[in-house]
């Protein structure tokens, strides 16, 4: 039996890997169920109900306006000089009917073409978290239990063993991602059919969704590889998980608070989630409202656009540094 097949079986049979994967899938299932339950298909009954609600809100506002005018007239007649009311009570005018549109009172409905792309980002984020933890625990447990040392007695080629483990991890995560993405697409297509609409789908739209899914798969594999590399470098799962928690708590929240207190422009440009969103959405535009450029009496904030190219550079650097350090440590440090 080949080393790759052995490592793949070892990964699949680990109970923690199974439990973590199951937990991730249950979260995804909860998202699907929540979306199904909070949306409904728009038909004649829903349109009629929305029109009735809009008319009721309009009539209520007419009544409130009439009462306000009467209160104003009584206050003026009593000699009330407060500024609660305008100088002329006639200035309290009725709201226009067009301010109460029926579509504003429609129930939530799932439009597949407009909303499915955002759900792909959710899928990628959850699977990336699963990949990071699974990758860290896979190699971390091998080091902490002594399994790595026993394996190297059988296969003394250190880098070959490490990279084969990484290949088995990436293959398993890729398979999980592909299967999950197919089921995810089918589930939300069903939601669009039963609780919304699937109108406007073209080959170009499907291609855009496919590219978003491809970027999501790359993110999942990158997260798994980084978790694997950090745990291998520290020879313990806790180092990777502790480092991730430290990055989130200190490196993100703490840094964000510090930069905000220093009035740094575009604070989000220093935070990791911004680049992950830019990677999934192809680009993201940040706004700095502290620097207003007044145009025709309106505040126009300064903007900064981050693209997937910026994110790819960050992801590439993280992979090169973490995997390079793990391979160097594997080759140079004693196996004890």
| Main-chain phi, psi angles of 290, to 5 degrees | -75, -15
The confidence score (pLDDT) of residue 294 equals: 57
Between CA 216 and CA 203 the distance in angstroms is 20
Region of residue 200 (left: phi > 0; alpha: psi -120 to 50; beta: else): left
Between CA 43 and CA 255 the distance in angstroms is 49
The confidence score (pLDDT) of residue 156 equals: 63
Rg (CA), the chain: 28
CB 104 within 8 A of CB 54: yes
| 103 compared with 335, residue with greater pLDDT | 103
3-state helix, strand, coil in the chain (%, to 5): 75, 10, 15
pLDDT of 297 > 70? The answer is no
pLDDT in tens, 197-250: 999 899 999 999 999 999 999 999 999 999 888 888 876 665 556 666 666 666
The confidence score (pLDDT) of residue 225 equals: 94
For the ranges 30-34, 77-81, 236-240, 277-281, the lowest mean pLDDT is seen at 236-240
Between CA 161 and CA 224 the distance in angstroms is 17
At 245, list the tokens: 């928690």
CB 212 within 8 A of CB 280: yes
Which helix (H) or strand (E) segment is 36 a member of?
A: helix 15-37
Between CA 184 and CA 28 the distance in angstroms is 8
43 pLDDT band, cuts 50/70/90, is confident
Residue with tokens 């971390």: 140
3-state secondary structure at position 159? helix
| Main-chain phi, psi angles of 263, to 5 degrees | 55, 40
If one counts every other C-beta atom within 10 angstroms of the C-beta of residue 150, the result is 10
**What letter would DSSP give residue 110?**
E
| Main-chain phi, psi angles of 293, to 5 degrees | -105, 105
Between CA 85 and CA 67 the distance in angstroms is 12
Between CA 205 and CA 195 the distance in angstroms is 20
What is the pTM assigned to this prediction?
0.82
């Amino acid at each position: 039996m080949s080393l790759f097949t052995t490592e793949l079986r070892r990964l699949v049979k680990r109970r923690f890997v199974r439990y973590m994967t199951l937990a991730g899938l249950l979260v995804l299932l909860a998202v699907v169920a929540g979306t199904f339950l909070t949306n409904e298909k728009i038909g004649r009954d829903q349109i009629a109900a929305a029109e009735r609600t809009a008319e009721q809100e309009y009539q209520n506002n007419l009544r409130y306006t009439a009462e306000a005018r009467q209160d104003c007239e009584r206050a003026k007649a009593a000699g009330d000089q407060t500024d609660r009311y305008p100088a002329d009570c006639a200035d309290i005018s009725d709201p226009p009917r067009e301010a109460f549109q029926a579509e504003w009172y429609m129930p939530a409905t799932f439009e597949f073409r407009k909303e499915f792309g955002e759900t792909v980002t959710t899928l990628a984020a959850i699977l990336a978290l699963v990949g990071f933890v699974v990758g860290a625990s896979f190699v971390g447990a091998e080091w902490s239990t002594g399994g790595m040392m026993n394996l190297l007695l059988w296969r003394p080629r250190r880098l070959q063993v490490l990279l084969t483990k990484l290949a088995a991890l990436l293959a398993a995560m890729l398979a999980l991602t592909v299967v999950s993405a197919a089921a995810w697409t089918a589930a939300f297509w069903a939601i669009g059919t039963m609780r919304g609409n699937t109108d406007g789908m073209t080959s170009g739209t499907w291609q855009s969704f496919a590219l978003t899914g491809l970027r999501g798969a790359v993110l999942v594999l990158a997260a798994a590889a980084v978790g694997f590399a950090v745990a291998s470098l520290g020879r313990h799962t806790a180092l990777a998980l502790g480092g991730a928690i430290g990055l989130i708590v200190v490196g993100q929240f703490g840094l964000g608070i510090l930069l905000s207190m220093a009035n740094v422009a575009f604070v989000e440009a220093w935070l990791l989630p911004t680049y992950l969103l830019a990677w999934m959405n192809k680009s993201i535009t940040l706004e700095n409202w502290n620097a207003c450029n007044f145009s025709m009496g309106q505040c126009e904030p300064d903007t900064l656009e981050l693209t997937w190219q910026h994110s790819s550079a960050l992801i590439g650097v993280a992979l090169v540094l973490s995997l390079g350090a793990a391979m160097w440590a594997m080759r140079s440090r004693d196996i004890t």
